[in-house]
């Protein structure tokens, strides 16, 4: 969704420090559990999850009245289902792609608020000299 609707590649980290509460961490213990497995567990235990009004979720209760949720997540899930018809490994490949980033082949990236561009050290890589460095 981030690539298609936000023009970015990012993930929800499985563990991160809270920005609002010092010393607190957010841990997502179901990070590696498939959604279908969670739903089967929910149904087996007769649990009921809360309905969310966020337009990105599957169960958007305020999106549309025509039966179509308008959910971007549902849209992307349907797209992935279509892609699975020709590539059964698509889900795993998408998940692994954010673990296999080769920064040498990325045009630009952000880290700690700073943008890094491939041209920043382009000449240094080919000549061994930093830009504007004189030879003696």
For 31-54, the pLDDT digits (tens) are 889 888 999 999 999 998 877 656
Per-domain boundaries in the chain: 13-48
Give, to the nearest 10 degrees, the angle between helix 90-97 and helix 72-84: 120
CA gap 18, 12 in Å, rounded: 13
Q: What is the pTM for the complete model shown?
A: 0.65
Q: Which residue has the tokens 């279509």?
A: 82
Which pLDDT does position 46 carry in this prediction?
A: 95
């Amino acid at each position: 969704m981030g690539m298609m609707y936000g023009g970015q590649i990012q993930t929800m980290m499985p563990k991160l420090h809270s920005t609002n509460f010092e010393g607190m961490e957010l841990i997502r213990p179901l990070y590696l559990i498939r959604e279908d497995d969670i739903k089967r567990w929910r149904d087996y235990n007769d649990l009921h999850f809360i309905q969310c009004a966020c337009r990105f979720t599957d169960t958007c209760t305020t999106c549309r009245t025509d039966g179509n949720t308008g959910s971007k997540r549902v849209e992307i899930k349907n797209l992935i289902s279509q892609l699975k018809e020709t590539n059964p490994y698509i889900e795993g490949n998408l998940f692994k792609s954010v673990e296999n980033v080769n920064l040498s082949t990325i045009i630009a990236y952000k880290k700690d608020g700073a943008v890094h561009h491939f041209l920043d050290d382009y000449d240094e890589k080919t000549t061994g000299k930093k830009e504007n460095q004189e030879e003696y």
